[in-house]
C-alpha cells in the first residue's frame, strides 16, 4: 500500500540513524530543555542555533522564524525549503494579536483537474509525486517576507537571510541521517534532474558519508538574491527565470508569471476550546485546525484519562473519533478560496456531538459504514515543524514542507533549490488515495491557482489568556492525530512537555480502515483487546516528529524535540 510504502521511506532517515556507525560528533543535540526566557525547537541543530542567535541579538520570534526557515532550506534539504510552502500560526506575547499566514503552494495556471490521469481516466502512478509536474508554485519565501514585514522587531532582513547564505556557501557537515537520506534518494535525484545536482556526487558510485561538507553554491546565490531584493529576488528576475527554464527543460508547467503572481494570504486563525483551554490553529487550506477541534470536541465528554494512558478504552475512543473526522475531511475539505468549505458547521459543537452519537465504547465501527457528515443549508513525505517562543512571550508555530522527502526530487538548475511535490496533496481522482492514503473529491480537485488540502496543524494553546503550549509536527495525515495526542497527553494525562512529545503514538484515518500503533505503544493484551473490539491493528515504527514548547506553572519554558528523529534539537536561554 502506498501509505505504508511512503512511511517506510520516511522512516528510513530515522531508522538509519540508529544503525551501528557512531553519530557525527560535531553537533550537540538536546531533546529537552528548561529555559527562563526563550526556546527554539527545530529539526536541525544548526537551524536551532541560527534561531537562538537571532533571539539573543534582539530579534523576536518572527525574526527567528525567518532565519530558521531559510537555514533549514540549507541544512535540512529533506524538508526545509524555499521551494515548498507552509503555515504560520502566531500569537503575540500580550495575546492581543493572533494570526495565521498561509504560504501554501498553488497549482500553476496551466494545471487542470485531470492532469494526472491517463486516456482511460486512471491515475498515472508517480506523476504527481516525482519530477517537474509534481510541483506547485512555491510559497515559503513569500511567507518569510510577509511575516517579516508585519512583525519583525529587528527590521534587518539581510541579517536574517545571511546565516543561510553562510551555511550554503561555506558548507556544513552533514549528519548521519542526512547522509543516509541523500544516498537513499540518489536514484530519484539522477532520474528527475535536467542538470547535475548538488545532492549527487560527480562520481555517482560514491556515497555520502557522515560529517562530509555539503557546499551549495547555487543555492547561496539564490539566497543572496533573496537577501538583496526581498521576495522579488525569488519571484521575479533571475530566480523566476531559472524556474521557468527548468520547467521547460523538464516538461513542467510553472511559468515566470506563476511565480510573479504568487501571494501568501493572512487568514483568520481557527479558534477553539478544550476543557477550559483556548486553541489557535490553521484554517483551510489546511484540514488541521478543523480536524483537531472536531477530535477534541468528540472526546471532551469522555473521561478517558481514568482508564489509563494507551488503555484499550483510550485508544478505541480516539480511533472512533478519528474515523469520523477523516471521513469529513475527505468529503468537505479543500481550499476555501475555491470551494465552499462548511467550516462553522464542521466545528459546531452540536454537530460534533451528533456525529459521535453512535460511538460504541465496546465495538469498532467499520469505516465502510461511515461517510462524511451531511449539512442542511449552506453556510454564510517530508515536512518539518518548528516552535519558537521569545523573551516577550511571542509564540510561533510553523509547519513547512516539500511534501515527500526531498519533494519532487527535482532541483531548479542554476538556482540550487528543491521543488516540492505538493500537487500530490490534491485529489488526482475522486476516491484514489494520495501518498498518505488520504482520499478526496470535488472539494480538493485541482484548479489553477488553488492550494492543495493540507494536514499541517501548527497550533498554539493558551490558558486564562496566557500562553500555554506551542506544538506541531510533520507526518502527512498523521500530523493531526499526533498534535491531538500531544495536547491531550499534557491536558488529560498530566505529562510534561518532554514526556508528552516523546510518548508513543497511534493513528487512524477512516480509510484505510486500520489502526496504526507505534512500536511499543501498547502491550500484547491491549493489542488483543483492540482486535477483539474489531480494530485492524497494524504496527508502525514511528509516527510524527513533534517540536513543542510549554509554559510551566513556575513560569519557566520547557521545550522538547522529538526523539524519533536523531537531529531534532531544542535550544534556549
Q: Please state the separation of Cα 508 from the chain's center in Å.
A: 18
Judged by CB under 6 A, the stretch of 261-269, 451-459, 507-515, 525-533 that binds ligand DON is: 451-459
Judged by CB under 6 A, the stretch of 161-169, 175-183, 246-254, 468-476 that binds ligand DON is: 468-476
Which residues from 473-532 bind ligand DON, rule CB under 6 A? 474-476, 479
456 binds ligand DON, rule: CB under 6 A:
yes
Cell of 529: 483487546
Q: How far apart are CA 76 and CA 135, in angstroms?
A: 19
Could you give the dihedral angle defined by the CA atoms of residues 303, 458, 80 and 101, in that order, rounded to the nearest 10 degrees?
170
Q: Please state the separation of Cα 19 from the chain's center in Å.
A: 26
Per the annotation, the verdict on 383 as an active-site residue is: yes
Q: Are 338 and 280 in contact (CB under 8 A)?
A: no
The distance of closest approach from Cβ of residue 454 to ligand DON in the complex, given in angstroms and rounded to an integer, is 3
Of 42, 454, 498, 548, which lies in the binding site for ligand DON, with binding defined by CB under 6 A? 454
437 binds ligand DON, rule: CB under 6 A:
no
Given the complex with ligand DON, which of 345 and 382 has the nearer CB atom? Answer: 382
312 binds ligand DON, rule: CB under 6 A:
no
Contacts of 210 (CB under 8 A, 6+ apart): 21, 23, 24, 174, 175, 176, 179
Catalytic option among 222, 383, 478, 501: 383
Does residue 297 sit in helix, strand or coil?
helix
| Phi-psi domain of 306 (left: phi exceeds 0; alpha: psi -120 through 50; beta: other) | alpha
Please work out, in degrees rounded to the nearest 5, the angle formed at the alpha carbon of residue 130 by the alpha carbons of 126 and 136: 110
The distance of closest approach from Cβ of residue 7 to ligand DON in the complex, given in angstroms and rounded to an integer, is 8
Q: Cis peptide leading into 285, omega within 30 of 0? A: yes
Q: How far apart are CA 135 and CA 120, in angstroms?
A: 24
Judged by CB under 6 A, the stretch of 26-34, 254-262, 470-478, 527-535 that binds ligand DON is: 470-478
Given the complex with ligand DON, which of 52 and 423 has the nearer CB atom? Answer: 423
425 binds ligand DON, rule: CB under 6 A:
yes
Cell of 341: 468549505
Given the complex with ligand DON, which of 394 and 509 has the nearer CB atom? Answer: 509
Which residues from 67-86 bind ligand DON, rule CB under 6 A? none
128 binds ligand DON, rule: CB under 6 A:
no
Judged by CB under 6 A, the stretch of 106-114, 156-164, 375-383, 523-531 that binds ligand DON is: 375-383
383 binds ligand DON, rule: CB under 6 A:
yes
Contacts of 408 (CB under 8 A, 6+ apart): 129, 130, 131, 132, 134, 135, 192, 402, 418, 419, 420, 421
The distance of closest approach from Cβ of residue 525 to ligand DON in the complex, given in angstroms and rounded to an integer, is 31
Does residue 50 sit in helix, strand or coil?
helix
The distance of closest approach from Cβ of residue 286 to ligand DON in the complex, given in angstroms and rounded to an integer, is 7
547 binds ligand DON, rule: CB under 6 A:
no
Given the complex with ligand DON, which of 183 and 399 has the nearer CB atom? Answer: 399
The distance of closest approach from Cβ of residue 474 to ligand DON in the complex, given in angstroms and rounded to an integer, is 4
Q: Cis peptide leading into 208, omega within 30 of 0? A: no
Given the complex with ligand DON, which of 154 and 456 has the nearer CB atom? Answer: 456
Could you give the dihedral angle defined by the CA atoms of residues 563, 564, 567 and 573, in that order, rounded to the nearest 10 degrees?
-30
Contacts of 182 (CB under 8 A, 6+ apart): 174, 199, 208
Q: How far apart are CA 54 and CA 73, in angstroms?
A: 17
Judged by CB under 6 A, the stretch of 268-276, 365-373, 376-384, 498-506 that binds ligand DON is: 376-384
382 binds ligand DON, rule: CB under 6 A:
yes
Question: Which residues of this protein are in contact with ligand DON, per CB under 6 A?
Answer: 10, 381-383, 401, 403, 422, 425, 454-456, 474-476, 479
Which residues are annotated as catalytic? Answer: 383
Amino acid at each position: 500500500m502506498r501509505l505504508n510504502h511512503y512511511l517506510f521511506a520516511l522512516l528510513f532517515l530515522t531508522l538509519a540513524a540508529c544503525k551501528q556507525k557512531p553519530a557525527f560528533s560535531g553537533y550537540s543535540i538536546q531533546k529537552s530543555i528548561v529555559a527562563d526566557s526563550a526556546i527554539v525547537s527545530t529539526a536541525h541543530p544548526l537551524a536551532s542555533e541560527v534561531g537562538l542567535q537571532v533571539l539573543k541579538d534582539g530579534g523576536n520570534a518572527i525574526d527567528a522564524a525567518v532565519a530558521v526557515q531559510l537555514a533549514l532550506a540549507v541544512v535540512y534539504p529533506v524538508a526545509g525549503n524555499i521551494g515548498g510552502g507552509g503555515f504560520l500560526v502566531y500569537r503575540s506575547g500580550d495575546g492581543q494579536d493572533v494570526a495565521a499566514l498561509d504560504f501554501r503552494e498553488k497549482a500553476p495556471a496551466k494545471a487542470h483537474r485531470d492532469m494526472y490521469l491517463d486516456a482511460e481516466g486512471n491515475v498515472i502512478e508517480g506523476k504527481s509525486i516525482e519530477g517537474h509536474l509534481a510541483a506547485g508554485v512555491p510559497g515559503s519565501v513569500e511567507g518569510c517576507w510577509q511575516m517579516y514585514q508585519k512583525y519583525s522587531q529587528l527590521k534587518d532582513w539581510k541579517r536574517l537571510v545571511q546565516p543561510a547564505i553562510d551555511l550554503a556557501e561555506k558548507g556544513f557537515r552533514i549528519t548521519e541521517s542526512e547522509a543516509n537520506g541523500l544516498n537513499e534518494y540518489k536514484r530519484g535525484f539522477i532520474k528527475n534532474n535536467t542538470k547535475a545536482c548538488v545532492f549527487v556526487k560527480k562520481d555517482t558510485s560514491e556515497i555520502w558519508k557522515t560529517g562530509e561538507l555539503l557546499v551549495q553554491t547555487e543555492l547561496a546565490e539564490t539566497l543572496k538574491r533573496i537577501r538583496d531584493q526581498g521576495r522579488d529576488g525569488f519571484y521575479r528576475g533571475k530566480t523566476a527565470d531559472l524556474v521557468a527554464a527548468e520547467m521547460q527543460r523538464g516538461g513542467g508547467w510553472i511559468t515566470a508569471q506563476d511565480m510573479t503572481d504568487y501571494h501568501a494570504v493572512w487568514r483568520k486563525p481557527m479558534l477553539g476550546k478544550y476543557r477550559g483551554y483556548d486553541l489557535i490553529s490553521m484554517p483551510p487550506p489546511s484540514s488541521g485546525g478543523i480536524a483537531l477541534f472536531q477530535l477534541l470536541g468528540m472526546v471532551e465528554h469522555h473521561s478517558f484519562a481514568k482508564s489509563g494512558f494507551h488503555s484499550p478504552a483510550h485508544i478505541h475512543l480516539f480511533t472512533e473519533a478519528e474515523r469520523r473526522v477523516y471521513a469529513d475531511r475527505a468529503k468537505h475539505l479543500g481550499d476555501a478560496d475555491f470551494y465552499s468549505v462548511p467550516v462553522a458547521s464542521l466545528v459546531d459543537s452540536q454537530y460534533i456531538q451528533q456525529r459521535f452519537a453512535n460511538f460504541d465504547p465496546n465495538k469498532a465501527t467499520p469505516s465502510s459504514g461511515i461517510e462524511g457528515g451531511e449539512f442542511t443549508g449552506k453556510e454564510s513525505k517530508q515536512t518539518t515543524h518548528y516552535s519558537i517562543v521569545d523573551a516577550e512571550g511571542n509564540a510561533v508555530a510553523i509547519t513547512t514542507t516539500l511534501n515527500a522527502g526531498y519533494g519532487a526530487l527535482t532541483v531548479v538548475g542554476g538556482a540550487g533549490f528543491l521543488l516540492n511535490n505538493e500537487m500530490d496533496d490534491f485529489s488526482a481522482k475522486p476516491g484514489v488515495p494520495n501518498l498518505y492514503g488520504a482520499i478526496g473529491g470535488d472539494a480538493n480537485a485541482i484548479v489553477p491557482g488553488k492550494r492543495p488540502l493540507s494536514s499541517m496543524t501548527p497550533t498554539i494553546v493558551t490558558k486564562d489568556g496566557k500562553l500555554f503550549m506551542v506544538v506541531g509536527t510533520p507526518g502527512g495525515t498523521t500530523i493531526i492525530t499526533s498534535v491531538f495526542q500531544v495536547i491531550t497527553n499534557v491536558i488529560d494525562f498530566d505529562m510534561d512537555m518532554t514526556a508528552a512529545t516523546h510518548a508513543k503514538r497511534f493513528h487512524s484515518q477512516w480509510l484505510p480502515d486500520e489502526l496504526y500503533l507505534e512500536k511499543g505503544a501498547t502491550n500484547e493484551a491491549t493489542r488483543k483487546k483492540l482486535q477483539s473490539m474489531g480494530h485492524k491493528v497494524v504496527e508502525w515504527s514511528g509516527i510524527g516528529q513533534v517540536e513543542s514548547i510549554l509554559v510551566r506553572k513556575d513560569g519557566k519554558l520547557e521545550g522538547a524535540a522529538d526523539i524519533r528523529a536523531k537531529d531534532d534539537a531544542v535550544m534556549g536561554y
